[in-house]
Structure 1
Amino acid sequence: MGRGDLSDEEWARLEPHLPRSAGRGGRWRCHRRVINGILFRQRTGVPWRDLPSRFGKWKTVHDRHRRWSADGTWERILRAVQADADAEGLIDWSMVSVTPPPAGPTSTRRVLAPARRESPADEVCRTDEALGRSRGGLTCKIHLAGEGGRRPLAFVITPGQWGDAPQLIPVLEQIRVPRPAGGHPRTRPDHLGGDKAYSSRRNRRYLRRRQIKHTIPEPKDQRANRQRRGSRGGRPTGFDREIYRRRNEVERTINRLKIFRAAATRYDKRAYVFHGTVTVASIRLWLRT
């Protein structure tokens, strides 16, 4: 086992959720070696062609990662691993926090080059490829919701210039942890924390409708506007400073996620492949439970 490869314990947690080959001659062989190759690239950020030979052909490793990113296999594995952790009581639902860590700048020439030919994965492609101009140049954002144990629950990728507040609802709607015993998946945390960038009347109405307790500070301009309107402005928002201190947990989740250089800096051309890259990094954090 090389440095950064799956340990026997991690492999035992992951193997039951991997796709099975359809009989003799199936395409899914050497799952562990291929996934270790994907993890090596995630951790180091090297080009696919520079993968060490111990992982097999680089094209096999790259194609499997791209294919599983396109058909949703990585997302299904992530939810299955989360379900296992929830069944063992290892998810801290008492405080879920959201934050928008930016992914690093991306090469314009490499990412904006048009695809050479159509592929089945084009059905999941975005027209904007989740890229936009911001202060840091051509970038994208990873809007992330993390649980109290400093692991990602859900995330949404957007262009770098998109605002933070409109992404709170899409991120929360991505939280779906299945229940092994059956029934509806768990989608609602006990408490939600966020910085003032997520403060808006729309977001607060949504959280109240879903009966989610939340601690989000109110910016000065919103407070002044509410006070100016008098009774029509509504009641002051509640804010618990002690609970808000726990928002550092999601910041620490970001630090753990950005250990993977391929997630900290976007090297992938297509948005769906980068989404799969961040999903693989999230799976690895859950396997280290």
Structure 2
Amino acid sequence: MTNIIACIDGSAATASICDYAAWSAQRLDAPLTLLHVLDHSRYPVAADFSGNLSLGGREHLMQELADLDAKRNRVALEQGKLMLEAARERVVALGVDGPQERQRHGDLVDTLTGLEDEMRLLVIGKQGEEHEGVGAQLGDNVERVIRAVHRPILVAAGEFREPKTILLAYDGSDTTRKGVNMLADSPLFKGLDCHLVTVGNREADLDWAAEKLTAAGHQVQTAVLDGEVEPALHEYQQSQNVDLVVMGAYGHSRIREFFVGSTTNKMIREAKVPHLLLR
């Protein structure tokens, strides 16, 4: 569990993903792997038209269709290699030493869960290539990844801005208490000012969390907000010009259960800055 894995595709988010991945790798002094996955649902390894009865016995047409799929796959494979090369050049220019490049053919989620044992942090964009040009819709694969991968996930949003301040959405739960410990111990957050925020939970032990973070060298500001979780947190983030939001991804408390079903989509969809999701 050592690598930063940055999942890239042809979306507009790729540059931001590379930049946040490079920042993370340098802060954590961890190796960086650039990953491109050819989704088999869009690029099948081999086409099978045998079940299409409308083709009848026109075997030559089936062969032409198979050849077209094979050509499409080769083009996509080469395009992926070029994207990886461009991503490598970008992160090297940012100071990352020896980034690895990997290309896989298969299901994105299966690929990432298969890499969990070597994954310290996953960096993805909030939209994939398949959702370019459709407004703020969250990519289907992004939601599936957030649900399936049990590692911290940094969801890149907007152009890169080196984080100087972070917001931890805290509710006193085990997950967010672990988040406090992670913020206190991880070099990823060393020296960053911290906003410790809870929404509608005046029973949360903010004093314990603030003391823990202050002892670790962070400047800490606490806030108890009212209202709905997503708009309250994002309004606070924007009003305080916070660079990075950290929060739990699943659970049953008011903040964490916000990341179940369509509310997961809404929180990430409305993000203007990167969100680090904890499991």
TM-score normalised over the length of structure 1: 0.29
Greater relative CO (CA pairs within 8 A, separation 6+):
1
Q: Which of the pair is proportionally richer in strand?
A: 2
